[in-house]
Chain A
Amino acid sequence: MTLDLEMAEIAKVFFQESREGLDVMESGLLTLGTTADAESINTIFRAAHSIKGGSATFGFAEVAGFTHGVETLLDEMRNGVRAVTAEAIQTLLQSCDCLREMIAATEAELPLDQGRIASLNSDIAHILGERPQVATAPAKAPAASAEPTAAAPAAGASGWRIVFEPAADLLRLRNEPTRMFTELARLGAVVVRADASRVPLLDALDPEACYLSWDIEISGQIPRAQIDEVFDWVDSQWRAEPIPAGNSAAAVPAQLDPPPEARPVSVERSPAVAAPAAQKASPDSGSIRVATEKLDNIINLVGELLITQSMLCGFADGIDPNELDRLRQGLSQLARNTRELQESVMQIRMLPISFAFNRFPRIVHDLSRKLNKRVELKLTGENTELDKTVLEKISDPLVHLVRNALDHGLETPERRSAAGKHETGTIELGAFHEGGNIIIEVRDDGAGLNKAKILQKARERGLVAPDQELTDEQIDNLIFMPGFSTADQVSDVSGRGVGMDVVRRNINDLGGHVQISSKEGHGSTIRIRLPLTLAILDGQLVRVGKEIYIFSLLAIVETIQVSKDRVNTLVGRSEVFRLRDEYLPIVKLCDQFGIEPDSRRAEDGLLVVIESDGKRAGVLVDDLLAQQQVVIKSLESNFKPVAGVAGATILGDGTVALIIDVPDLIRSMGKLGGGEVTAHAA
């Protein structure tokens, strides 16, 4: 059925929306710990309320049932009935986690973790001061209509007598009495008598007001609930009582008791807080959801446009000089337009880094409790934008780095105060643009790295030769070596021995770079440099023989010409050259890719010095060509993965050029190029 299909589509929107709602709840709950202002509780409540309403509407009764308890607790907090305690916040945070899992399971049509749900339900009930009730259990979710179902009329009744004395605004509010009479008439035979005695004289008559009241008799075995439903919107303006069997319509009792449902008008309460003007605009206001696939398609097309444009430019160099100026003018305009178009299309893929940062208040909160440390997390530059894919891939490494900073970097409050520091440590997570890159920094004011211990460990593991001298910076960066962990005890938080090397590899694979610097007793700073996007690369074109290759400009340290006396051949190994006081291995692309160069001698060509993973090498090329932005085309999806090649691009003249995978090239060199750390010249 199309209705079901359509509802399933809409349910997807609900899942996404619920996840966003949970994010709102979580970050709100985390701030509640410090400030409990009415509006933030309200925001959390509203998010829970929406999840409950939506899940019930889309038929996810268990989610709705669970959220009901959460909502009740939040409602009491919001109304000031329930204190905002650390315990309650903790339970609510756990409930958010549980809801997240429930929603994921519901979406994937997997069974729910009933044990966890029941345990949190009882925690919430405990806070609410109740025994766990069946009402909050998933099986009994709100039914389609939450209206109280009243009993059937008393046995022996032959119908109802209803007195309807509407308020004067009945008609203005568009509650048509005729609509109600029609609905009643569907239930049974109806006799309606209008009482017009209150209608004033014409000059006193307000044409908008209702002066009539009605006396209605309806016969038949009609449940009270059905009558309630008809008069649903005008409650307290009517009353009904059963007509005993045998009584004629004419026998009207003199006085009717007020109906049992009549409730006292509730105490006037200011309606749900006046417009919170100060509320921050939600981050996705004015945004649209676009499938990444569609965007990639557009980006690809723009890439093609770029190629066409550069082809035309190359073509213009070879035609009649008289016509050239106009053509050049047009082309430079095309170039500008193309670039602008490309930039704005690329913008679509850009997301603020807050999407990755938002996880951290929660992570730091949980972890600091676990480790008994006091931490203040500072986030800066949350609006710095970067490519969605880069953002997704950097998220896990960042978590690892922050956990490490908390676990190993920051000291316990006792140690901090003994060292004359503030008991509360600080972790700063910041992002900003620098050139065409984004820089992310994780900074802590903890103990810093213990250089002596790191060096000792590195020597024990043979990562550094016993007599090798290292700078402070080199020592710090040893922690990114595979298998390196200085944690004395392996904790479940971090320090499993894998980690920092994986972090570095992930970052390198994104075309980025990571570095740590630290000062003993003052803390460490980890600096990650990332390209803004993976789709486009600032490339350096180089020539080897007839082939053209491309290096990412980010990976190039410098390009030099070497004289013969600086090149040495190592026995059983390849050639190395001396760059200032370092020996660097020489990589010959001609050997790597099996092509014929102009010359195999290092002194005849140019050495492009590249760096990755803290290791450097000189790549021998015949010539340096232009620097240009290139659109990366995947080799893997069009051909097959090739070692040492990150992708390909199409140049202006239509030829395909391969983009060198610098991290891969350097890694493959590890086997050839000496120790892990480049040795200093003896």
Chain B
Amino acid sequence: MGKKILTVDDSASMRQMVLFTLRGAGYDVVQTCDGVEALEWARQSAVDLVLTDVHMPRMDGITLVRELRALSHYKFVPMLILTTESSTEKKMDGKRAGATGWLVKPFNPPQLLATVARVI
């Protein structure tokens, strides 16, 4: 059984790219489109890693990380944010909210896999 990863992104093409890459590497992937949907799903289920975009409608990725960290079964789950901001600002926001780390867009499939492998 592969490790389970929750991905959160409002862009269908990014979701597909991430899904294709992670599934290809043998991970079990659950996809959601925004923070609200992800949080709703996460309340009922556990994963090995959360991979979330930052800018999304309804609930952004940073709020999502903060909300997830407050759930007892997500306290120790690695969470990575996908961000195009190479400035430290968003990264630090994410860090303060409880993110493990980040992956700067644009990334290619090998970069994504290498980053994921760092935490699981």
- Chain A residues close to B by CB (< 8 Å): 3, 6-7, 10-11, 13-14, 17, 43, 45-46, 49-50, 52-54, 56-58, 64, 142, 144-148, 169, 172-176, 179, 232-233, 235, 263, 265-266, 269, 271-277, 279, 282
Asked if B100 contacts A269 (CB within 8 A), the reply is no
Per-residue A-contact encoding for B1-45, CB less than 8 Å = 1, 0 else: 000000000111110110010000000000000011000000000
A50 in complex: contacting residue of B20, B55, B62, B86, CB < 8 Å: B55
Asked if B100 contacts A54 (CB within 8 A), the reply is no
Contacts A/B (CB < 8 Å), 23 sampled: A7-B17, A10-B16, A17-B11, A46-B57, A50-B11, A53-B11, A54-B13, A56-B105, A57-B106, A58-B17, A142-B106, A144-B106, A169-B98, A173-B95, A232-B101, A233-B100, A266-B89, A269-B93, A271-B60, A271-B62, A271-B93, A274-B63, A277-B58
Asked if A266 contacts B92 (CB within 8 A), the reply is yes
How many angstroms between the C-alpha atoms of A43 and B93 in the bound complex?
20
Per-residue A-contact encoding for B97-111, CB less than 8 Å = 1, 0 else: 111111011111101
Asked if A174 contacts B119 (CB within 8 A), the reply is yes
The residues of A that contact B92 with a CB separation of less than 8 Å are: 265-266
Asked if B10 contacts A50 (CB within 8 A), the reply is yes
Whether A145 touches B104, Cβ cut-off 8 Å, given contacts A235-B88, A271-B93, is: yes
**Nearest chain B residue, comparing its CB with the CB of A64:** B106
The residues of B that contact A53 with a CB separation of less than 8 Å are: 11, 14, 84, 105-106
Whether A17 touches B118, Cβ cut-off 8 Å, given contacts A6-B20, A175-B101, is: no
SS of B interface (majority): mixed
The residues of A that contact B105 with a CB separation of less than 8 Å are: 53, 56-57
The residues of A that contact B107 with a CB separation of less than 8 Å are: 57, 144
How many angstroms between the C-alpha atoms of A235 and B95 in the bound complex?
10
Asked if A58 contacts B13 (CB within 8 A), the reply is yes
Q: Given A17-B13, A179-B118, A232-B101, 4 other A-B contacts at CB below 8 A?
A: A13-B12, A57-B105, A233-B101, A272-B60
Q: Is B77 an interface residue (CB 8 A)?
A: yes
Asked if A275 contacts B88 (CB within 8 A), the reply is no
- Chain B residues close to A by CB (< 8 Å): 10-14, 16-17, 20, 35-36, 54-60, 62-63, 66, 75-79, 84, 86, 88-89, 91-93, 95, 97-102, 104-109, 111, 118-119
A425 CB to nearest chain B CB (Å): 35
**Nearest chain B residue, comparing its CB with the CB of A176:** B119
A11 in complex: contacting residue of B10, B13, B78, B91, CB < 8 Å: B13
Whether A146 touches B86, Cβ cut-off 8 Å, given contacts A265-B92, A269-B93, A276-B57, is: yes
How many angstroms between the C-alpha atoms of A179 and B101 in the bound complex?
13
How many angstroms between the C-alpha atoms of A13 and B57 in the bound complex?
19
The 8 closest A-B pairs by CB, nearest first: A233-B101, A146-B86, A56-B106, A14-B13, A174-B78, A57-B106, A13-B13, A271-B62
Asked if A54 contacts B60 (CB within 8 A), the reply is no
How many angstroms between the C-alpha atoms of A46 and B97 in the bound complex?
20
Asked if B106 contacts A10 (CB within 8 A), the reply is no
The residues of B that contact A232 with a CB separation of less than 8 Å are: 101
The residues of B that contact A266 with a CB separation of less than 8 Å are: 88-89, 92
The residues of A that contact B63 with a CB separation of less than 8 Å are: 271-272, 274-275
B97 in complex: contacting residue of A43, A142, A269, A271, CB < 8 Å: A271
Asked if A173 contacts B98 (CB within 8 A), the reply is yes
Whether A46 touches B100, Cβ cut-off 8 Å, given contacts A52-B84, A144-B108, is: no
